Structure 1
Amino acid sequence: MSEDHQTMHRVFAYGTLKRGLKNHHLMARARFIGVATSVPHYRMIAGDYPVLFEDGAGLLPVSGELFEVDDATLIELDKLESVGDLYDRKTVAIALGERVTDAFIYIGRPVAWASRGWPPFTARDRDGRLHWPALAE
């Protein structure tokens, strides 16, 4: 294996990491794969950005974007998301059209968010998936 070999990782972005949003600059070395949907269903809260949870009522699939990132980018994303404190990084099934693949997703740790008081976010796209708006959507 060469020294410059990078392991590539698929990451599902559903919030500020999406194209055109405030943290997308962290994806500068990422390869956009396509618009995708989470196979697992989640609930979402949102303030300045959205947070997904695996528990609760009204769980729905989530609309987002699938990227391929290198090791260094994944480390930066883990820092942004405060993995182990605010979020957990998990591997889940993501649908890209008719194809399903595994990708990392950042899921909120309920105990870390309980005191924030952010409201439930329920906006959906035309297919009924939770969809955190990008700009003026």
Structure 2
Amino acid sequence: MSEDHHTMHRVFAYGTLKRGLKNHHLMARARFLGLAASVPHYRMIAGDYPVLFEQGAGLLPVSGELFEVDDATLVELDKLESVGTLYDRKTVAIALGDAGVTDAFIYIGRPAAWASRGWLPFTARDADGRLHWPAPAG
């Protein structure tokens, strides 16, 4: 039995790629693995969508969703995220509930690319104290 899409990749979605949000259609061939959280801590800014950075004040874990995607989907995600210009795709540890910790790709903003945007820090948290976009209702 051969695999049409070759390698599968885990991707942590914390913004518009999450289920029900505007870019989730790019995940049409993805397999949802579950609700998850970053093990590393980040700071977040947001305008129309969130951006994570590895340095700065207020570093916290981030809540999101973990997916498994094929090669073609990963290429589309890299295009959406303007990898190499606006974001870097990195491998980090992601906590997947009771399933433990796994490695997954995450898109991290390049500070110089975002400095002039004037977007404000985003600090809304979920019930467990993790950064959560969009903010929980209430």
Q: How has the CA–CA distance of structure 1 residues 34 and 134 changed in structure 2, closer, same or farther, with 3 Å as cutoff?
A: farther
Q: How has the CA–CA distance of structure 1 residues 70 and 121 changed in structure 2, closer, same or farther, with 3 Å as cutoff?
A: same
The structure carrying a bigger helix percent of its residues is 2
CA positional deviation for 1:133: 1.2
**Count of residues in correspondence between the two structures:** 136
Runs ≥4 residues deviating over 3 A? 134-137
Residues 5 and 70, structure 2, Cα contact 8 Å, conserved in 1: no
Residues 5 and 71, structure 2, Cα contact 8 Å, conserved in 1: no
Residue deviations 1:17-70 (CA, integer Å, cap 9, x gap): 000000000000000000000000000000000000000011000000000000
| CA distance in structure 2 between the partners assigned to 1:49 and 1:30 by the alignment | 21
CA positional deviation for 1:113: 0.2
CA positional deviation for 1:4: 2.5
Find the residue that maps to 1:9 and give its secondary structure: strand
| CA distance in structure 1 between the partners assigned to 2:113 and 2:83 by the alignment | 11
Residues 20 and 134, structure 1, Cα contact 8 Å, conserved in 2: no
| CA distance in structure 1 between the partners assigned to 2:7 and 2:47 by the alignment | 33
Q: How has the CA–CA distance of structure 1 residues 34 and 109 changed in structure 2, closer, same or farther, with 3 Å as cutoff?
A: same
- The answer to which of 49-58 and 127-136 deviates more is 127-136
Report the identity percentage: 90
User: What is the match of residue 27 of structure 2?
Assistant: 27
| RMSD, aligned CA | 1.6
- TM-score by length of structure 2 reads 0.94
| CA distance in structure 2 between the partners assigned to 1:95 and 1:28 by the alignment | 23
Gap runs ≥5 in structure 2: none
- TM-score by length of structure 1 reads 0.94
Gap runs ≥5 in structure 1: none
Q: How has the CA–CA distance of structure 1 residues 133 and 7 changed in structure 2, closer, same or farther, with 3 Å as cutoff?
A: same
